[in-house]
Amino acid sequence: MYSIIQHLHSGFRYIVFLLLLVAIIQSLLGWLGQKAYTETNRKINLFALISAHTQLLIGIVLAFLSPLVQFSSDTMKNEVTRYFTVEHWVGMVIAIVLITIGHSKAKKIILPESKHRTIAIFYIIAFLIIIATIMAGHLPVLGSRA
Domain span at 95: 2-136
DSSP 76-119: GGSHHHHIIIIIHHHHHHHHHHHHHHHHHHHHH--SHHHHHHHH
* Residue pLDDT, tens place only, 70-86: 888 888 887 888 888 88
Query: 146 lies in a domain?
Result: no
**Does residue 40 carry a pLDDT above 70?**
yes
| CA pair distance 24, 51, nearest whole angstrom | 14
Residue 89 maps to a domain? yes
In a domain, 127, yes or no: yes
Residues 78, 84: Cα–Cα separation, whole Å = 10
* pTM of full prediction above 0.85: yes
Residue 141 maps to a domain: no
Share of the chain above pLDDT 90, in %: 73
Number of structural domains in the chain: 1
What is the tens place of the pLDDT at every residue in 110-135?
999 999 999 999 999 999 999 999 88
Res 145 pLDDT > 90: no
